[in-house]
Amino acid sequence: MAMTTIAVLGAGKIGEALLSGLLSAGRRPEDLLFTERYAQRAAELTERYGVRAVDTATAATDADVLVVAVKPQDIEVLLDTLATAVTPGTLVVSLAAGLPTALYERRLPAGTPVVRVMPNTPMLVGEAMSAISAGTHAGPEHLAVVEDLLSAVGKVVRVPERQQDAVTALSGSGPAYFFFLVEAMIDAGILLGLPRDVATQLIIQSAVGAAVMLRDSGEHPVALREAVTSPGGTTIAAVRELENHRVRAALLSAIEAAALRSAELGRAHD
């Protein structure tokens, strides 16, 4: 892997998170390339990370691994270029929500290995959760390359491709649900008259502490919640309101909606 050149095609939010995470994990800027639509954005990223911006055709020629990080709505234009530019044997890694490996396999040179990945933005801080699935022509050696790449910036699981819409809804979008919750809890602090900076500090540290307990204690989330919930106390008064407002049902519906949207994004290219 040391000599592998990786090109990120579309260095937006997740593409930049990958570049940044790989550099923080020790990968050399000269082993990375990226493409961007606008010259000003490309120049800013080169200034920030010391990584070279190239056009798509150059990336396809010079890189061993092409990481597709454009929005699903932009994939057709990109595939038009890649269809003739990709060298046989180049590994194509798709981070795009909803897009099946079969779409790439239809449009790229016969036999191109494709791996579908659903990462998330905590990649920026080396705490990504990525799920990977092999396409028809991707073997264990290709999965190993992708696993090696992504384990430098977080955790990696292998899933059958049919589970990727669910993964996208859970961990791909997942950080947004936690940010939403934190935002609402800080507002609750404002409602109760706390200064915003104090409320923010209280909630963020509570979130970090709870996350570390979830990861490291080995306890079930129910047991951790019960340990906070004293008989006749404050927490159970809040839990009753969460149940009254059907927060659990809202989460089930919200995450189901995200999975349905992921599937819809894929079908748009049938």
Ligand X SMILES: NC(=O)C1=CN([C@@H]2O[C@H](COP(=O)(O)OP(=O)(O)OC[C@H]3O[C@@H](n4cnc5c(N)ncnc54)[C@H](OP(=O)(O)O)[C@@H]3O)[C@@H](O)[C@H]2O)C=CC1
Q: Contact 132/116 with Cβ under 8 angstroms?
A: yes
The piece of 29-37, 56-64, 135-143, 165-173 that touches ligand A1CAB (CB under 6 A) is 165-173
As beta bridge partners, residue 9 has 35, 68
Q: Name the segment binding ligand A1CAB (CB under 6 A); options: 35-43, 60-68, 167-175, 178-186.
A: 167-175
Q: Rounded CA gap, 270 and 257, in Å? A: 21
Q: Out of 86, 172, 186, 203, point to the residue binding ligand A1CAB (CB under 6 A).
A: 172
Sheet of 128-134, strand order: 52-53, 32-35, 6-9, 65-68, 91-94, 114-118, 128-134, 154-158
Query: Toward ligand A1CAB, which CB reaches closer, 36 or 165?
Result: 165
215 contacts which partner out of ligand X, ligand A1CAB, none, CB within 5 to 8 A by kind?
none
| Relative orientation angle of helices 221-228 and 196-216, to the nearest 10 degrees | 130
Could you tell me the sign of the dihedral formed by the alpha carbons of 243, 249, 255, 258, in that order? negative
Binding status of residue 145 toward ligand A1CAB by CB under 6 A:
no
Residue 39 CB, shortest distance to ligand X, in Å, is: 11
Residue 140 assigned as binding residue? no
- Contact partner at residue 28 from ligand A1CAB, ligand X, none, CB < 5 to 8 Å by partner kind: none
Q: Are 158 and 133 in contact (CB under 8 A)?
A: yes
Question: Which one among 131, 173, 259, 266 touches ligand A1CAB, defined by CB under 6 A?
Answer: 173
Q: Using CB under 6 A as the criterion, what x/- string covers residues 86-125 for binding ligand A1CAB?
A: -----------x----------------------------
Work out how close the CB of 72 gets to ligand X at its nearest, in angstroms, rounded to a whole number: 5
Contact set with ligand X (CB under 6 A): 9-10, 12-15, 35-38, 56, 69-72, 74, 77-78, 95-97, 118-121, 172
Q: Is 72 annotated as a binding residue?
A: yes
Alpha helices in the chain (DSSP H): 13-24, 39-49, 56-62, 75-85, 101-107, 140-151, 164-167, 174-191, 196-216, 221-228, 234-244, 247-267
Query: What whole-number distance in Å separates Cα of residue 45 and Cα of residue 141?
Result: 31
List the one residue out of 255, 94, 101 whose CA is nearest residue 178.
255
Minimum distance from residue 101 beta carbon to ligand A1CAB (Å): 17
As annotated, the binding site for NADP(+) includes 69-72
